[in-house]
Structure 1
Amino acid sequence: MQWQDDAIILGVKRHGETSVIAELMTRTRGRYLGLVRAGRSRSMQPVLQPGNRVDVIWRARLDDHLGEYRIEPLQLRAGQLMETATAVYGVQAMAALLRLLPERDPHPHLFEALDVILDNLSDPADAGELFVRFELAVLDDLGFGLDLKECAATGLRNDLVYVSPKTGRAVCRTAGAPYADRMLALPEFLSDEHSKAANSESLAAAFRLTAYFLNRHVYEPRGLNENSTRDGFVQAALKALDKAG
């Protein structure tokens, strides 16, 4: 068995004296593990850093085997990702999100989103908003997508300011007012009605929104702890956005 694909390094684990097992997000085949012989060599260590984009050839005798990788660099951006706290935490937090998905399950749109976000993690105006949208996309692929297009009670598509914590559906101001203290806020930048960029207040609300549904539908049912690198990213993104503003 053999295939070739573009991929992004998510992480590596030592294997034996000189090799590593590399975890990649591939463009067409999803999250994939493979052995890299001599992966701890001086020439390979800079390549096998989280966030780098690579060309990979995977080979195995049978499709369900671990297999071996042959990896060539395409875009070495790991050094740039070490320059800001949002980037350091962001690449780890997105890798943790992708690990919630089944291995070898194709998610090409998530690969494309990851590739774009990694190039923008150092920009505080973009990093937080892009990350929230990535979380929403992961929730959708896990089968727990939020419906933020129209009011669950009235069908209206304007003045959407709440999200129901029970259904994950948007609710307009008038319909949600009697239950406002039990609703989650829908930040304007996530609504089709507005084109405003996120500020620190709306971004914090968006982080609370996605965290609620990740905990309810994914972490708690699986008995998992919350993603600690996400907390680091959230704090770094909000701090950077405050400074930029």
Structure 2
Amino acid sequence: MQIETPAIVCALRNHGEHGAVVRLMTPDDGLQAAYVRGARGRRMRPVLVPGNQVEARLRARTEEQLAHAEVELTHSRGPLLTEPLPAAAIEWVTALTAAVLPEAQPYPRLYAGLDAFLALIEAAPSALGWASSLVRYEMLLLAELGFGLDLERCAVTGSNDDLVAVSPRSGLAVSAAEAEPYSGKLLPLPPFVRAGGAATWDEIAQGLDLTGHFLQRDVLTGRSQALGDARSRLVERILRAGGLI
């Protein structure tokens, strides 16, 4: 097996005296795990930072063998790690991606979504400019893993008008008229989740509640469960930035 590809560094686990097993998200070959010699050395440490974009060359004798990789930095996001909120967001999305995706399965839409989200964190002047995209990335990840929400029409009437809530059990959208008797039992559906565009802080909070419910129920299970604490800390920081707590 030989792969030469651009990639996003998602996770790093020390292995042996000087090396590490690195998990890389690639556009065509999905999540790839590989051993990088000297990963903990002075030269490689700044390269293998989660969120960095790299050019990777992976080689293994068989498909089952852990690949060895040579990695060159193409774009560093290290400067963002000095800013607590962007750093927490990068840590969350890369750790989530590394923990829940099956290895070597292509997810080109997720690669593109992760790449775009990381670029937006760099470009936006504040979390208001990128937090809604975090919700969209989590929605995309749920869909790619087979847990997508059906937000196209009302679960009761079949209409696609005035959809304002989501059933926490079925993941189906509910229109305003049908949702009214169940106020407090349904999850709010902020407009930007379906229509895109900008979002207010209140709408971002609603979006994070929505994706957080289904991530916790369907994805963050077993060994991934501890990730829920990291997400809770990130959400708290986002809500503080928006003056909501």
Q: TM above 0.5, one fold?
A: yes
What TM-score, normalized by structure 1, do the two folds share? 0.91
Structure 2 length normalisation: TM-score?
A: 0.91
Q: Equivalent residues in 2 for 1:107-118 (5 A)?
A: 107-118=107-118
- The Cα offsets for residues 195-232 of structure 1, whole Å up to 9 and x where unpaired, read as 65222211111111111111222235778345222122
1:136 aligns with 139
Corresponding position of 2:188: 185
RMSD: 1.9
Going from structure 1 to structure 2, the CA distance change for 1:142 and 1:36 (only over 3 Å counts) comes to same
Question: SS in structure 2 opposite 1:73?
Answer: strand
For residues 96-245 of structure 1, what are the structure 2 equivalents within 5 Å? 96-98=95-97, 99-121=99-121, 123-192=126-195, 197-220=198-221, 224-242=225-243
The letter of the residue matching 1:118 is L
| Alpha-carbon spacing, 1:43–1:221, altered in 2? closer, same or farther (3 Å) | closer
Structure 1 residues 223 and 83, CA, compared in 2 at 3 Å: closer, same or farther?
Answer: closer
Alignment: residue pair count? 240
In 2, Cα distance between equivalents of 1:222 and 1:45: 26
Distance in structure 1 (CA, Å) of the matches to 2:188 and 2:48: 40
SS in 1 for 2:237: helix
Percent identity among equivalent residues?
35
Q: Any unmatched runs of 5+ in structure 1?
A: none
Structure 1 residues 160-215: Cα deviation after superposition (integer angstroms, max 9, x where no partner):
111111210111101121222311111122133xx652222111111111111112
What residue identity is the alignment partner of 1:146?
L
Matched residue SS, 1:149: strand
Q: Which moved more, 1:196-205 or 1:68-77?
A: 196-205
One-letter amino acid of the structure 1 residue matched with residue 234 of structure 2: F
- What amino acid is aligned across from residue 67 of structure 2 in structure 1? G
Q: Can you give the 5+ residue segments of structure 2 that lack an aligned partner in the other structure?
A: none
Deviations 1:52-85 (A, max 9, x none): 1001010011111101001111111222x21322
Q: Specify whether residues 107 and 223 from structure 1 end up closer, same or farther in structure 2 by C-alpha distance, changes over 3 A only.
A: closer
